[in-house]
Structure 1
Amino acid sequence: MSTHTIAFIGLGVMGGPMAANLVRAGFDVVGYNRSPQRAQALAAAGGRVAASAIEAATGADTVITMLPDSPDVESVVLGEGGVLECMRPGSLLVDMSTIRPDVARRLAETGRDSGVRVLDAPVSGGEQGAVEAKLSIMVGGEEEAFEAARPVFDALGTTVVHVGPAGAGQTVKAANQLIVAGVIGLVSEALVFVDAHGVDPDQAVRVLAGGLAGSTVLDRKAASMLARDFTPGFRVDLHHKDLGIVTAAAREAGVAIPLGGLVATLMGSLRAQGHGALDHSALLLELERMSGRGETADS
């Protein structure tokens, strides 16, 4: 696949290291980011930098988008001068953003009309997973397109699963974000709880992590939460957006998510207080505020 050209659009916290890992895997990667300074890391890693999304996508075998929200993806892919206009029949469009399932299905339908194979392939694992190429990738779309894109996915993640037709990847990602937010909320409650009873929270986390309460969230987030270090790996703003996707999709399907609705409200409250730029583990601040404990972190 060394002659396989990948256009990577969106070189932020997640996209930047993902694009760099594709370069290391031997792909010819040309990247574009709206903020040009973000693209310099890709250039330093051996990739090429384009002046626009359409320039990056022209001639590419695979186009990957890693953008903040559904409107961003729609604009870059389907808008006037969108990348779909320049893609060759048979090429691959892989959206790795987290967007609404219905938008993912519309991208696939529009791509099919142009002869472009489209996959929705959102990821989980955070910045650390992106850097280490250990992401979990949930893929929706046609089986043949999934197999064609498999070498690309294998360079980015360790758990790669084809979960169903177009939109299925985004549906599973919504479920992932529901679980992650819920666990962060419960870890926050537990930390406030043990601290209120005068228990050493570091020792509490140590033993909790070794039992049934152990989780990836506890392993990766508890230490920074205790240190009150909320440097963003995944921002509150983005998780708030994702929980909006979850609640809307659940309502559309007639599914009750009472715990999810509550944690979505808590995340929204945290964001409304000006903490949207912090890591989503800053949900601890909201639980402390509600309990009349703790100090406000700088945003």
Structure 2
Amino acid sequence: MAEGAAMTRVGFIGLGIMGGPMAVNLVRAGFEVTGHNRTPSKTDRLVRAGGRAAGSVAEAVTGADVVLTMLPDSPDVRGVVLGEGGVLAHAREGALLVDCSTIRPDVARELAEAAAERGLAMLDAPVSGGEQGAVEGTLSIMAGGTAEAFEAARPVLDAVGATVVHVGPAGAGQTVKAANQLILAGTLELVAEALVFLEAHGLDTGTAFRVLAGGMAGSTVLDRKGAAMRAREFTPGFRVALHHKDLGIALTAAREAGVVIPLGAAVAQLMAALDAQGHGGLDHSALVQLVARLSGRE
């Protein structure tokens, strides 16, 4: 049990692919977790694990020591945090708000300021590691906010992540996450291109990937996504539509900083094309499908 877990009540908003297993891991670590999701059936997994289901955001956060949000996009987080029935309207003064969603850095800063005005501390603490990392409790968590808020949140974050780092002030977590999504998208694209290249030469791609994974070309992407890409199996661990959104955040933040990201821009366009073709619900490894189609092989 995490230190302080038995005394900590957690309200968790957003129990989807990532939030669901994160909330379950908090229960297993000894936290008292009350969860809410827009689709009520998604609270079932939490209830089976020993948590409680809430019928509203207000019910989930009332009396909570820590509130976690894991939502799709900036407008969703803004609405849940600032809305009339939202977190700031119902969380107690002194509570800690930790947003694990991936949103715009400027929105993260806006929400941190609003939280401070209501007497709450806030961290933007996006995560990386996909569904597998969420299930295993091995996520990488990059947190932005004050050092005091980070230390207060540490027991909760340690229950869901293996790499938990304070990266700077409010908004810094989201900026690091944008960099993460650039690297991830670029690696996925190159693995996809390599796979189609190997297939075109008639080679055994399983054997080829095994030796590539053992050298400098090895990566978590190759290890976790390679087999599914070879099989063209795209059950979502992280959806194309969400990665498309994340790359838009990265492009905007780069433009604001005056930074040129030509390779990032190229893969962002490919992800956008995949989404526009109606494949937004597939796993982002479906980039291989687009590469194969552009190569006339599908």
Residue type of the partner of 2:129? G
Q: In the alignment, is residue 64 of structure 1 matched against residue 52 of structure 2?
A: no
Q: 1: distance between equivalents of 2:58 and 2:84?
A: 11
3-state SS of paired residue (1:97): coil
Q: CA deviation at 1:115?
A: 1.1
| Matched-pair contact (CA < 8 Å) for 2:83–2:89 | no
Give the aligned partner of residue 203 of structure 2: 199
TM value normalised by structure 1: 0.97
Q: How many residues align?
A: 294
Q: 1: distance between equivalents of 2:229 and 2:131?
A: 16
Please report the RMSD computed on the Cα atoms of aligned residues, expressed in angstroms.
Answer: 0.6
Query: In the TM superposition, what are the counterparts of 1:1-299 in structure 2 within 5 Å?
Result: 1=4, 2-294=6-298
Q: 2: distance between equivalents of 1:3 and 1:47?
A: 15
| Matched-pair contact (CA < 8 Å) for 2:133–2:139 | yes
State the Cα deviation string for residues 27-61 of structure 1 (Å, max 9, x = none): 00000000000001100000001000111001100
Q: CA deviation at 1:200?
A: 1.3
Identity %: 70
Unaligned residue ranges in structure 1 (runs of 5+): 295-299
Q: Which piece of structure 1 moves more, 16-25 or 81-90?
A: 81-90
Q: CA deviation at 1:88?
A: 1.9
3-state SS of paired residue (1:155): helix
Q: 2: distance between equivalents of 1:66 and 1:126?
A: 13
Q: 1: distance between equivalents of 2:163 and 2:196?
A: 33
Q: CA deviation at 1:76?
A: 0.4
Kindly report structure 1 stretches of 4+ aligned residues shifted beyond 6 Å. none
Q: CA deviation at 1:3?
A: 2.1
3-state SS of paired residue (1:224): helix
TM value normalised by structure 2: 0.98
